[in-house]
C-alpha cells in the first residue's frame, strides 16, 4: 500500500485537508505543504506494518467508508494508506 504522511496532531485540520491531500500527486519521498501542513509520500508500506500498528494502544485506526483507505493516527502524524486501485484512481 502507498503511504502518505500528514504531519499534524489536529484531527479537525486533517479532516479539512484530507481530500486535497489524497488528490495531490506526489512522487516517492516528495514533500509538499498544504494549508501549512507538511505532507509526505512515504512510498510503499507492507501490510504487516499496518497490522502491527493497529495493535498499539496509542494508535487510532480509521477507515474511509466505501473505500479500502486506512488511516492511522499516532503522536503528531496521520498515515493514509492507499491500496493500488485507489492510488491509480487518484494519479
Query: Rounded to an integer, what distance in angstroms lies between the CA atom of residue 21 and that of residue 40?
Result: 10
What is the number of alpha carbons within 13 Å of residue 78 lying toward its C-beta? 24
The pLDDT of residue 83 is 87
pTM of the model: 0.88
Residue percentage of the chain with pLDDT more than 70: 92
The pLDDT of residue 20 is 97
- Structural domain that includes position 32: 2-90
The tally of domains found in the chain comes to: 1
Amino acid at each position: 500500500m502507498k503511504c502518505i504522511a500528514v504531519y499534524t496532531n489536529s484531527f479537525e485540520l486533517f479532516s479539512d485537508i484530507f481530500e486535497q491531500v489524497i488528490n495531490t500527486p506526489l512522487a516517492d519521498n516528495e514533500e509538499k505543504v498544504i494549508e501549512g501542513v507538511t505532507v509526505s509520500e512515504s512510498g510503499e508500506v507492507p501490510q504487516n506494518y499496518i497490522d502491527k500498528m493497529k495493535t498499539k494502544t496509542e494508535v487510532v485506526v480509521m477507515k474511509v467508508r466505501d473505500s479500502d483507505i486506512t488511516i492511522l493516527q499516532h503522536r503528531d502524524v496521520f498515515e493514509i494508506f492507499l491500496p493500488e486501485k485507489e492510488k491509480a484512481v487518484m494519479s
